[in-house]
Amino acid sequence: MKSFRGKVAAITGAGSGMGQAIARSLASQGCHIAISDIDEANLQQTAESLSRYTVKVSTHPLDVADRAAVETFAEDVVANHGQVHMVFNNAGVSVTDSAEHMSYDDMEWLMNINFWGVIYGTKSFLPYLQRVDDAHIINTSSIFGSIAVPSQSIYNASKFAVKGYTFALRQELAETHINVSCVQPGGVKTGIVNSSRYVPQDNASATKEELSEQFESMAQLTSEQAAEQILRGVLKNKAQILVGKDAKFAALIERILPIGYQKLIGKVLDNP
């Protein structure tokens, strides 16, 4: 894909964070936008911010964990725009807890959004992407899809799964007009921790608010900066789009020390 102008992009999780920033950047480049999010108020705010651009914008309240709803979303996008060229399976959540104590309810909630939401988005849009001459599927994993860390076992599981699924899909579609990219952000100021499910281990553990503030202060990129890196990667048809210097560093460490990095993480956590 050489340009976004005149194309149609469907984006999940567009009510805030990277999804919202991607929508704004694409619209500024002449791309028509179909935005979706489970939070209808945030979705409307995103739509209002896109009104200054001379592109068509459609809004779709959506729970990506609902397969039938995602299938309807794909149908509605084509009904509204006539076609679709890109799908950004971006919606995601997090759970912070130990593997031992994490509830099945929390694990299923996260996997249904982070993993199955990507599957539903991919399969629902694929038939429509096959109808256009130039198409792209962009699935959001995480640098935690390459390295594992304590308290993030189910988040790691979902993001490792998304990466594996996306890389396999790219190989399957290699001889077609449909490109596939896996996005792996590092620390991005998206508010994901603030909207996460968090279970403190003991009375000495940080509160959710403290954890959110700590993450935001450590995150190196704004959502807008992340969106620009993602979209540059899409135009270059990169298989893996590492977002941020921390993501690139972590990916390098994992390649050099595929097992040994775990000891490094342990030392960092023991000496914050």
Per-residue pLDDT band for 180 (boundaries 50, 70, 90) equals very high
Considering 53, 120, 128, 155, which one is annotated as catalytic? 155
- Residue 106: pLDDT over 80: yes
Question: What was the pLDDT predicted at 213?
Answer: 53
Q: What pLDDT, in 10s, does the model give residues 149-175?
A: 999 999 999 999 999 999 999 999 999
Q: Is 128 a catalytic residue?
A: no
- Residue 110: pLDDT over 80: yes
The domains found in the chain, sorted by start residue, are 8-270 (3.40.50.720)
For β-strands 86-89 and 135-140, DSSP reports them as parallel
CB crowding 152-188: b at 16 or more within 10 Å, else e: bbbbbbbbbbbbebbbebbeebeeeebbbbbbbbbbb
Question: What was the pLDDT predicted at 208?
Answer: 45
Q: What pLDDT, in 10s, does the model give residues 229-272?
A: 999 999 999 999 999 998 998 899 899 988 888 887 766 655 54
Question: What was the pLDDT predicted at 198?
Answer: 55
Q: What pLDDT, in 10s, does the model give residues 36-56?
A: 999 999 999 999 999 999 999
Amino acid identity, position 155 = Y
User: Taken in order 123, 125, 129, 134, is the CA torsion positive or negative?
Assistant: negative
